[in-house]
Amino acid sequence: MTSKEPRPLRADARRNREKILDAAMRAFTAQGLDAHLEHIAKDAGVGSATLYRNFPTREALIEAVYRNEVARLCDAAPDLLERQPPLDALRAWTRLYLDYVTAKHGMIDALRAIAATGGNPYDHSRQRIRSAIATLMDACVAAGAIRTDIPSGDVAAALEGIALTSAGDGHRQQAERLLDLTLDGLTIGR
């Protein structure tokens, strides 16, 4: 290990970090920029010093929460494919995508604040999401479940469009209907 590589976290430190990220996600989703970091630490079951040791600024915490949610979403694709037929996995993943967008919608002011200071909380997230969609679609194509003439980028654009129009409160049912419509359009024999 070179001196520039960060040391791996101990198991307890990793658990504390995850608890902080989970508590922060809930707080930022519900309260946006008004979330108190001390309340986040308390909800996570850690002291304020532990929170600040992991995330020295509010912006660092917000960006880490966002990156963590993108990673969870994208890492779910191969897990779903292991447990379900490909088309079911794609359908389940699109619901997780809606959960992700809904949570991000609650954090939008915080993410904009980071972008305004020159940070880029969206760095690589779009590519990671498109890669997860491609993985799911490739498995569906290999199983003969979906059409082969629709690129994954088109499906990603459709999901983004559904998310933009249906991310707010009270729009979940509409978003799910639109997802079903999109997926039905991909399915062979529909």
What is the number of other CB atoms lying within 10 angstroms of the CB of residue 29?
18
Beta bridge mates, 187: 146
* The CATH number fitting domain 10-56, selected from 2.60.40, 1.10.10, 1.10.287, 1.10.3470: 1.10.10
Task: State the Cα–Cα distance between residues 80 and 70, nearest whole angstrom.
Answer: 16
Report the SS3 class of residue 36.
coil
Beta strands in 38-89 (DSSP E): none
Q: What letter does residue 123 receive in the DSSP assignment?
A: T
Q: What is the pLDDT along the chain (190 residues), one digit of tens a residue?
A: 444 556 666 788 889 999 999 999 889 878 877 889 999 999 999 999 999 999 998 888 988 888 898 999 999 999 999 999 999 999 999 999 988 887 776 667 667 767 777 766 666 788 899 999 999 999 999 999 999 999 999 999 999 889 887 766 678 888 889 999 999 999 987 5
Q: 62-186, which class in CATH? A: mainly alpha
Q: How far apart are CA 40 and CA 27, in angstroms?
A: 7
Domain ranges of the chain: 10-56, 62-186
Cβ atoms of 106 and 29 within 8 Å: the answer is: yes
